[in-house]
Amino acid sequence: MTRQSDTQENGFWSARLILSLVLTAAALIFVFSNVHSVPIIFFGITLTLPMWIWFAVLLAVGITIGWMRPGSRRQRPRGRR
């Protein structure tokens, strides 16, 4: 028995696709509505950059931390495809 993807099972507009589109739109609206520059003091160093760059940096840090955690990824049982 093979597992079909969500789009094949439920048509093109699966719940996963709709949720990802809504979250992407919300994230883009949030980022582009916060374009003014803000100062950040980190270890005594003051950096002034647009807020969306800080959000992008924090996103990259979060993705990196999640990627580095060994238990965060699902593993398939051996012998199954």
Domain that includes residue 42, residue range = 35-74
Length of the chain: 81
Q: Is residue 50 part of a domain?
A: yes
Q: Are the C-beta atoms of residues 50 and 56 closer than 8 Å to each other?
A: no
d(CA 32, CA 24): 12
| Residue 73, C-beta contacts closer than 8 angstroms, at least 6 positions apart | none
Q: Are the C-beta atoms of residues 6 and 14 closer than 8 Å to each other?
A: yes
Q: Is residue 81 part of a domain?
A: no
Residues 47 and 22 occupy one common structural domain? no
9: confidence class by pLDDT, cuts 50, 70, 90: low
Q: Is residue 79 part of a domain?
A: no
**Does the reported pTM lie above 0.75?**
no
Q: Is residue 8 part of a domain?
A: yes
Q: Which two tokens stand for residue 59?
A: 């996103």
- Identity of residue 16: R
Domain count of the chain?
Answer: 2
The highest-confidence range among 5-9, 13-17, 50-54, 72-76, by mean pLDDT, is 50-54
